[in-house]
Amino acid sequence: MKVVGLFAGIGGLESGLAEAGHEAVMLCEVWEPARAVLSHRYPNVPLEPDVVDLRAVPVEADLVVAGFPCQDLSQAGLTAGIAGRRSGLVGHVFRLLDERRVPWVVLENVSFMLHLDGGRGLRTLIEAFEERGYRWAYRIVNSLAFVPQRRERVLFVATTTDVDPADVLLCDEVTATQVETTLATHAHGFYWTEGVRGLGWAPDAVPTLKNGSTVGIASPPAILLPDGRVVTPDIRDAERLQGFSADWTAAAEAVGRPSLRWSLVGNAVTVPVATWLGSRLATPGRYDPDRDRDLSGDTRWPKAARGDGRRRLRVDIGPFPVWMHRPALDDFLKYEGKALSARATRGFLGRTQRSTLRFVPGFLDRIRAHLDRMEAIAPVPRVSLPRIAAVAAE
């Protein structure tokens, strides 16, 4: 298919689709650091600056893809909903479809959109597609099926063709391979910025890579290694955890601070997820209608559903379409991580004291041991009582 990538970011969807044989004919992205990456990685593909100003998609386009902004839908973001200033930009997708009814559309966003505001955002999308004569299917897919990162995202496929979108999105399912892990044999990822609630931790994987901040505040996870060290991964390994090659985002440093690369990576679509989807777009499977369940009594959107033009149906399917072999997280990492500082470690441990999160026995003991080592390397300065009094007087 000929692909138009809206809200293209650093090209996660487009790169994965290309690996499955599809070709980008136009990209659109407004953020300058992401545009720098796209210009470097796709030098021969026209790059439009802003979807708001885009009047039409190329006539040869078969597929429009849009990982539209998630800031207003994310549990960690503003949760303003589909009408939020950023996430509401998805309305321009439908404006462009009204100009030309492109036969295939793929949307991607955070799984929290199923629950936010009673699922109003997803309902808005479904109604907009149905009004335009599209059949649709959506499903939560976990990147853990492909890479050692626990990352659930909604994939939404809509089409006006004779192909059932369920044959693309809802015919592959496997049971995840459960690896028996211990703290002494496997790495465990967690967010040191949390500790009370949040994304929690992940055995032999990292929790969802976050987008950080558009002003350049990085938000990497921490990783407890089997030898007891606690590190934050190198940005090149973060890129690889999203399925990109190392230094995929290096071109962004020409237009912004290096830490912006964390935001670019955290916002991206995991490349092998898009490759799997692209392969099914090229060669659809056969949906099993025995997976259909009645949706009418549901008060919340399920994790997978479809609309066949007459009915909306819940679909009984899990988040793992495949399970790709990958090395253990400790072996996956290629670049030296940065030791988590004593201050960051101390803050995390303090928050766990009032936490509802649960960790396996020995996890927090290892974090405390890391803190002891870090404080031995750089002891906390002690200020004498006379000096404290002098400062107070000043």
| Whole-number Å distance between alpha carbons of 194 and 154 | 24
Contact 306, 315 (CB under 8 A): yes
Three-class DSSP category at 387? helix
State the amino acid at position 285 in one-letter form. Answer: G
State the amino acid at position 163 in one-letter form. Answer: V
Name the DSSP letter for residue 195.
S
Catalytically active residues, by annotation? 70
> Which three-class secondary structure string do you get for 82-120?
CCCCCHHHHHHHHHHHHHCCCCEEEEEEEHHHHCHHHHH
- Judging by beta carbons within 10 Å of its beta carbon (0-12, 13-18, 19+), is residue 381 exposed, middle or buried? exposed
State the amino acid at position 330 in one-letter form. Answer: D
Three-class DSSP category at 36? helix
Q: At CA 232, angle to CA 266 and CA 179, rounded to 5? A: 85
Contact 221, 233 (CB under 8 A): yes
β-sheet with 23-28: strand ranges across = 47-48, 23-28, 2-6, 63-66, 104-110, 152-159, 135-142, 304-307, 312-315, 292-294
Select from 339, 337, 338, 341 the least CA-distant residue to 375: 341
Please, which residues have CB within 8 angstroms of residue 246's CB and are 6 or more apart in sequence?
A: 236, 237, 239, 240, 334, 335
| Whole-number Å distance between alpha carbons of 49 and 34 | 11
Name the DSSP letter for residue 178.
P
| Whole-number Å distance between alpha carbons of 142 and 202 | 13
